[in-house]
């Protein structure tokens, strides 16, 4: 994946998907697909525009990102995107007029095609929209597509809806709207070592402060290590049995005993299993984890169904 800083020259022709793509949901994926279709038609590279920092923090809002910039880049790559055009969201960027934004875009990149959502806006105060972008593209010989909203069960797919599902623990609905399982990605860190002592060693992932926390609980998950997926269970939240209140993502990979400290992994959330509880001690917790693993193993057919819906 090539990362192109915004307002920096890039030699190859691009078919560019415009947006923020903070969760790459099914609607965003439709825009990425439009850009990929144009790329094949024009012989250009497929690229996606996004911000490499947290725009909500710059705006002083409490809204959390569903996916961080590195996670979005990973999703883009999985979707066949060749390059990411990354801009830093700032006061200066917000002050760019719609004309200045397009001038910077086309001055530094050879744009063959642009795709965006039908509600896309750009430039200071949202001065530009899909209609003005279509006019601009027609004037400059650039192919253009404004992708209509995607609806599931009659509801418009949006980042706001996905946030609501995740905070409610409705992973099934979140995954349908995302078009793929919700996931946490990162490098495996050393934890407290408690899992080893109760025969349940866990994979510990750091969780960015800018990232939305799904509802606290134990989840049925699938963890991808080195390109292979393994059934797993994940504790998202605190560890009250051991007096730990801080939020964390700890995953036990079933029937897996390799050392993966320092490696990149992806844990995909498939279903909410139960709330987090404080147990009387390690033995009581281990008995519950035994039951959780049995339940997770019985979900193999269910997991296959999830996978077939997200291809």
Give the tens place of pLDDT for each residue, 56-99: 999 999 999 999 999 999 999 999 999 999 999 999 999 999 99
Task: Name the range with the highest mean pLDDT among 46-60, 177-191, 242-256, 283-297.
Answer: 46-60
| Separation of alpha carbons 202 and 233, rounded Å | 9
Cα dist. 126→6, 50, 122, 147, 188 in Å?
19, 16, 5, 18, 40
Q: How confident is the model at residue 190 (pLDDT cuts 50, 70, 90)?
A: low
What angle is formed at CA 128 by the lines to CA 123 and CA 133, rounded to 5 degrees?
120
Kindly tell me if the per-residue pLDDT of 196 is higher than 80: no
The residue ranking higher by pLDDT, 199 or 127, is 127
- pLDDT on residue 246: 77
Helix, strand, or coil (residue 85): strand
Which residues, including other chains, have CB under 8 Å from residue 198's CB and lie 6 or more apart? 282, 283, 285, 286, 289
- pLDDT on residue 300: 63
Phi-psi group of 114: left, alpha or beta (phi > 0 → left; psi -120 to 50 → alpha; rest → beta): beta
Kindly tell me if the per-residue pLDDT of 301 is higher than 70: no
What angle is formed at CA 170 by the lines to CA 59 and CA 208, rounded to 5 degrees?
40
- pLDDT on residue 51: 97
Q: How confident is the model at residue 191 (pLDDT cuts 50, 70, 90)?
A: low
Q: How confident is the model at residue 310 (pLDDT cuts 50, 70, 90)?
A: very low
Q: What is the pTM of this model?
A: 0.88
- pLDDT on residue 198: 45
């Amino acid at each position: 994946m090539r990362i192109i800083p915004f307002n920096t020259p890039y030699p190859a022709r691009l078919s560019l998907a415009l947006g923020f793509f903070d969760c790459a949901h099914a609607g965003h994926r439709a825009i990425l697909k439009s850009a990929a279709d144009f790329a094949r038609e024009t012989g250009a590279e497929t690229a996606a525009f996004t911000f490499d920092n947290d725009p909500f923090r710059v705006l002083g809002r409490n809204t959390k990102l569903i996916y961080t910039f590195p996670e979005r880049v990973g999703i883009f790559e999985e979707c066949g995107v060749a390059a990411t055009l990354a801009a830093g969201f700032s006061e200066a960027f917000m002050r760019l007029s719609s004309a200045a934004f397009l001038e910077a875009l086309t001055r530094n990149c050879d744009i063959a095609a642009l795709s965006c959502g039908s509600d896309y806006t750009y430039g200071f105060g949202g001065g530009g929209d899909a209609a003005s972008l279509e006019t601009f593209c027609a004037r400059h010989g650039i192919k253009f597509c404004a992708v209509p909203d995607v609806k599931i069960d009659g509801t418009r797919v949006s980042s706001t809806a996905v946030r609501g599902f995740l905070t409610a623990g409705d992973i099934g609905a979140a995954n349908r709207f995302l078009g793929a399982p919700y996931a946490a990605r990162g490098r495996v860190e050393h934890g407290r070592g408690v899992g080893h002592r109760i025969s349940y060693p866990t994979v510990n992932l750091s969780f960015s402060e800018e990232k939305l926390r799904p509802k606290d609980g134990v989840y049925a998950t699938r963890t991808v290590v080195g390109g292979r997926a393994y059934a797993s269970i994940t504790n998202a939240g605190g560890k009250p049995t051991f007096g730990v209140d801080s939020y964390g993502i700890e995953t036990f990979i079933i029937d897996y005993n390799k050392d993966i400290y320092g490696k990149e992994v992806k844990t995909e959330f498939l279903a909410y299993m139960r709330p987090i509880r404080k147990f009387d001690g390690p033995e009581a917790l281990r008995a519950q984890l035994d039951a959780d693993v049995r339940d997770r193993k019985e979900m193999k057919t269910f997991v296959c169904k999830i996978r077939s819906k997200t291809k």
